[in-house]
Amino acid sequence: MTGFRHILFPVDFSERCEGAVPFVESMARRFQAKLTLISVAQTHYLGTLDDPSAMDPQAMIDAVHAHLNRSFADDFMGLSVDRITQLGDPGHVIAAFVKTHGVDLVMIPSHGRGPFRQLLLGSVTAKVLHDVECPVWTTAHTGTAPDLEHVKLKKILCAVDGTEQGVRLMQSASAFSKQVAASLRLVNVVPGIEAWPERRMDMEFEEGLRNHAKNRIEIQEQSAGIDAPLCVAVGAVADTVAAEAQRHGADLIVIGRGAAHATLGRLRTHAHAIIRQSPCPVLSI
């Protein structure tokens, strides 16, 4: 990950989408990236069956595109911006566009509203995370408006797992933090007591787990030429990463996406949970 040249911003005209605009604008300006706004017309978009245009695909595309052209007119001044409207399933359309148009970052809001909605990412966001090969940025998955302090992007937290993929992830996070002049901190979480039901974890055992993980990752840091503070904790992965981000005032969490289980495709076991619980935006690579 050596910088972003083409950013894709899916637009669904929601409040969550509007809340992501300052982050998208800032990222595009940092890298002077081309920005494509894409909106997907769906058969139910216009709402009522008695509206003739609801049965006319081209009329639907024209209506959505007109709305897209009116949106964010002043937010991306001075940037190279394309506005695209297509008809179809949003997840499929976004994934196909990424694959065929050289997109190297997708910035998409998650849709956390209310105590129950916050348990879900939204089907479009989940599909994009699963299907695309490039990094994906998501907003903090909370019921409140995004904290615009995170736009400044001063502190980055990278969740690493001690694997070879984790080494590449920390290298990407280190390069990105230098590009945006942000500080970098690493966190590794050793799964807690629930992973060892046959033995009760005591302080000595927990300390041994921490030290083993810390030594392994510090060796990886040295071999990768990375100098960043490391926190190793024992507990539930998503809870602990979120708590560490909150404790250090992180503006962005960087995590990995990769093959962890056949039924999960490219999405790692804890990615959804981390995104759901993060107090700040998440960049998954």
DSSP class per residue in 200-259: ---HHHHHHHHHHHHHHHHHHHHHHT----EEEEEE-HHHHHHHHHHHTT-SEEEE----
Higher-confidence position of 6 and 121: 6
* Range with lowest mean pLDDT among 2-6, 9-13, 170-174: 2-6
pLDDT band at residue 21 under the 50/70/90 scheme:
very high
pLDDT at 268: 59
At the fourth CATH level, the homologous superfamily of domain 6-146 is HUPs (3.40.50.620)
pLDDT at 201: 52
Residues 16, 139: Cα–Cα separation, whole Å: 8
pLDDT at 162: 83
Residues ≥6 apart with Cβ < 8 Å to 116 = none
Residues 251, 234: Cα–Cα separation, whole Å: 23
pLDDT at 119: 36
pLDDT band at residue 158 under the 50/70/90 scheme:
very high
Residues 99, 180: Cα–Cα separation, whole Å: 26
- pLDDT (tens digit, 9 = 90+) per residue, 40-96? 998 654 445 455 555 688 988 999 999 999 999 899 999 999 999 999 999 999 999
- pLDDT (tens digit, 9 = 90+) per residue, 212-259? 889 999 999 998 899 999 999 888 899 999 999 999 999 999 999 864
pLDDT at 265: 41
H-only helix segments in 225-266: 237-247
Q: Point out which residues pair with 256 in neighbouring strands.
A: none
pTM: 0.86
Spatial CA neighbour of 95 closest among 64, 142, 128: 128
User: Alpha carbon 169 to chain centroid distance?
Assistant: 14
Residues 285, 268: Cα–Cα separation, whole Å: 11
Q: What six digits make up the tokens of 85?
A: 């409207």
Q: Do domains 6-146 and 149-284 have the same CATH topology?
A: yes
Spatial CA neighbour of 58 closest among 46, 69, 70, 75: 46
pLDDT at 52: 52
**H or E element, residue 15:** helix 15-31
Q: What six digits make up the tokens of 116?
A: 């129950």
Q: Point out which residues pair with 254 in neighbouring strands.
A: 158, 283
Can you give the residue ranges of every domain in the chain? 6-146, 149-284
Q: How many CB atoms lie within 10 A of CB 42?
A: 14
What fold does the segment set 149-284 form as a domain? Rossmann fold (3.40.50)
Residues 169, 161: Cα–Cα separation, whole Å: 9
Q: What six digits make up the tokens of 171?
A: 């290298």
- pLDDT (tens digit, 9 = 90+) per residue, 109-145? 886 443 333 334 567 888 899 899 999 999 987 667 7
User: Alpha carbon 267 to chain centroid distance?
Assistant: 12
- pLDDT (tens digit, 9 = 90+) per residue, 162-203? 888 888 999 999 999 999 999 999 999 987 655 455 555 567
